[in-house]
Chains A and B, each alone.
Chain A
Amino acid sequence: MDMARALRSITLRRLAIATVLVMGAGYGLAFLYAPEDADQGFIQKIFYLHVPLAIVALVGFIVAGLLAIQHLRTGDSKWDARSYVSIHLSVIFGVGVLLTGAIWAKGSWGVWWEWREPTLVSFLIVFLLYATYYPLRYAIEDRDRQARYASVFAITAGAFVPLNFAAVRAAQPLVHPRTFSDAGGLPGSMLLAFLVCLAGMALLWVTLVRFELTSKRASGDLKRIRRALGGGDGPPSPARSIAPVATSAMSQMRAEGRR
């Protein structure tokens, strides 16, 4: 059984249950098992939320780029939908990273934001770059062109993410700690809690992506049925062309339109 089929067979419900269990275990470990940081004290517990959020958001952007490559290769709109939803969720996670980071900065450094810190500014740049994805996408009315341009954007920006990460690693940090930069930086109990939190956050991202894709597929299928029944929902509005409706249904509709 290949990997893709195995992944598809996992239902949304099972994924959601696994997410709750792993996240519950992760944050249970973080608060009850992992010791308090000797330097920062209790406030370091934000690390178990902030860092997994950041890692998952950045990896999500890269995944979106890979899905966009698949879209350009095959021309199948389902890959565009997956790329779109991945970016969408990663942007939401990005908001979480910025907010939790600001709270941690205020608690640790006494300021909400530090413009001289390359880690913070580089993440903001990545976030703002992806914030431009939506206006770019919805500025194009033609769905095929919209999907193609969005895929090109996702690939280019996705390639920028690891480059940006490497640049930040090479830069001189001001106050932001470098996670995993020193050998043996995290004691075993902290590392275990962190890894379980990271797994939980990754599962949450996958669950929400699947949830949103299922929802989009349902709306696409509904539109198709409405047309088949003669209800007619009219031509899709460009402003609300809620992007890639993910389905074979929409591709079929477009094909019918061309005929």
Chain B
Amino acid sequence: MIPLAIENSDRYVGGAYLVFLLLLLIYVAIMAAKLQRVQRDLGSLAELAERPSREGADRDVGQIRDREQEIQAVRQGDRG
């Protein structure tokens, strides 16, 4: 039988609970890092989702300008 060596019990109890808390904190920190990655991905996806509509809007503006130029050209031709 191993002889009992009970001393500084406060230190050991504090140490055990601290180790558990640290383990929990490390886990939460790792999960937080993963969540940050998800958030970053979500940001890039939002950008990706907005891109086609922005491109579409630019295309529409270009078409309107072309049409305006055509109308002006026709008007100038009528005057001439």
Physical interaction between A and B? yes
Q: Give Cα A106–Cα B15 distance, bound, in whole angstroms.
A: 11
User: Is the CB–CB distance between A106 and B20 below 8 Å?
Assistant: no
**Residues in A neighbouring B7, C-beta threshold 8 A:** 107
**Residues in B neighbouring A208, C-beta threshold 8 A:** 27
The interface size of chain A toward B, counting residues with CB under 8 Å, comes to 37
**Residues in B neighbouring A95, C-beta threshold 8 A:** 23
Asked whether A96 and B20 contact (CB < 8 A) given A107-B6, A114-B2, A226-B48, the answer is yes
- B73 close to A (CB within 8 Å): no
The interface size of chain B toward A, counting residues with CB under 8 Å, comes to 31
The majority secondary structure among interface residues of chain B is helix
One digit per residue, 1 when the CB lies within 8 angstroms of any chain B CB and 0 when it does not, for chain A 38-79 equals 001111011001100100000000000000000000000000
**Residues in B neighbouring A99, C-beta threshold 8 A:** 16, 19-20, 23
Ordered by A's residue number, 19 sampled pairs between the chains whose C-beta atoms are within 8 Å are A40-B6, A40-B9, A41-B6, A42-B9, A43-B9, A45-B13, A46-B13, A49-B17, A92-B23, A100-B19, A103-B19, A104-B16, A106-B12, A107-B6, A108-B6, A109-B2, A222-B41, A222-B45, A226-B48
Chain A positions within 8 Å of B, measured between CB atoms, are: 40-43, 45-46, 49-50, 53, 92, 95-96, 99-100, 103-104, 106-111, 114, 174-175, 208, 211-212, 215, 218-219, 222, 225-226, 229-231
